[in-house]
Amino acid sequence: MAAAFVSEDTVPRSRRGSNALLPPYMSELRVVLLGNSLSERSSVGNFLLTDTKLNAAEELECCVKVSGKIQGEKIVLINTPDLLHPNISEDKLKEHVETCVRLSHPGPHVFLLVLQPENFIEYQKMKLCQVLQLFSDQSFDHSLVFVSPPTKGFSLQENIYNYDAPLRQMIRKCGNMSLKFKQLDILEFLKSVNQILERNNRKHVICHHTSTQQRKAVPDNLDYDQSVGK
């Protein structure tokens, strides 16, 4: 098992070009999308993939895994149902988290927290913290906050100190790693991802609450662009 764990992220330097945007030890970038708006999460995912692979209008009942390329590098995205919904049960929440863990085996590199500032209230902050802790105590160190464009009638604050308290506190819990989706470009995203990788010694998240057997439940030949966890 140890050898399989290492080989997932290890690629010989000779196989990677000198201009590669992802570090040479990574064969792919695994990203989990979380947040308080399905349409915004899907929009971010499609932007990163430069392709419409996530349906922003379709309500998710399960986790969806898609893949694509960023500047020639492989990226795997796992989009999630509304895990911040006040009526979601604890059992269903844990089920979705465990599915996410299996789909991102051996572990996600980054959690993208796509947050609409005018709708991100204290309850959602507490719920999002709970979700991240279900993955791992390491999750906050691997998180990047995407502040999505506000809805009509609201303006995007230029300074994070002008955001409402829940959003400011969430950004601080994530080591002040945040980007504005409206002003985002791919290189800026990759720069932030590399900062997260560097501060975590170039390691992905290890989700301790899920057993080895559960992580192996998803077959190696699982096709991308499919839903899992109904």
Q: What distance in Å separates the CA atoms of residue 163 and residue 158, rounded to the nearest whole number? A: 9
- Per residue in 30-69, pLDDT (tens digit) is 999 999 888 889 989 999 988 888 887 777 889 999 999 9
- Per residue in 187-201, pLDDT (tens digit) is 889 899 989 999 998
Closest CA to 55 of 230, 226, 228, 229: 226
> What residues are paired with 228 via a beta bridge?
63
The CATH class of 24-228 is: alpha beta
